[in-house]
């Protein structure tokens, strides 16, 4: 199974777009995060912890999550890279079959996740949200789905997929 989605992270006062893609294969079981350098390991361990807290069991497969964009080599301030945690975790739980998402191609998510499972979404104003179509080079007929907490104000042209509803639908195995 393959998946792809879009995200942004703040860096030096601007928002940097990234593509996130992932796949599951029959290789040696485990989780690998590629593209975040030294930050990958702690993020992976947090995902394992959050999954265990929710009693989610993973199939014996190799799950690879990759970030493509200008991330590697950047010196982040105040853990800006953490805004990639939400889309990466959503992709992992989708690849493992725990979230009922067939694909994430037309979805956008950006947010940090605490070890308690609380999400701090990247807050974009209406103008910044309106620019997402241009930033991600979407076709005029594509409707972007924004995955964010229920209380998040979402630009009217987009579909809001509340995070709480997604997390409530987690399938335990």
* Domain segments of the chain as ranges: 2-168
Backbone angles phi, psi at 167, to 5 degrees: -65, -30
Q: Which residues does 102 contact at the CB level (< 8 Å), separation at least 6?
A: none
In the CATH scheme, what is the code of domain 2-168?
Answer: 3.30.230.10
Query: Has residue 2 got a pLDDT over 80?
Result: yes
Tell me the pTM. 0.91
Task: Identify whether the C-beta of residue 138 lies closer than 8 Å to the C-beta of residue 99.
Answer: no
Q: What is residue 101's predicted lDDT score, i.e. its pLDDT?
A: 79
Backbone angles phi, psi at 107, to 5 degrees: -110, 155
Q: For 37-61, how does the pLDDT look when each residue is reduced to its tens digit (9 = 90+)?
A: 888 999 999 999 999 999 999 999 9
Strands 145-148 and 159-162: parallel
């Amino acid at each position: 199974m393959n998946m792809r989605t879009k995200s942004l992270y703040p860096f030096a006062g601007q928002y940097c777009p990234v593509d996130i893609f992932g796949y599951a294969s029959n290789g040696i079981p485990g989780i690998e995060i590629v593209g975040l350098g030294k930050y990958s390991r702690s993020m992976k361990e947090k995902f394992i912890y959050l999954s265990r807290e929710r009693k989610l069991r993973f199939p014996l497969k190799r799950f690879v999550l990759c970030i493509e964009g200008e991330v590697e080599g950047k010196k982040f301030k105040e853990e800006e890279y953490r805004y990639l945690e939400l889309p990466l975790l959503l992709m992992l739980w989708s690849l493992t079959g725990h979230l009922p998402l067939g694909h994430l191609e037309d979805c956008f998510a950006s947010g940090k996740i605490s070890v308690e499972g609380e999400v701090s979404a990247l807050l974009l104003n209406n103008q910044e949200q309106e620019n997402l179509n241009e930033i991600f080079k979407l076709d005029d007929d594509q409707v972007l789905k924004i995955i964010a907490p229920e209380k998040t104000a979402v630009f009217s042209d987009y579909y809001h997929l509340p995070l709480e509803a997604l997390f409530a639908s987690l399938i335990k195995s």
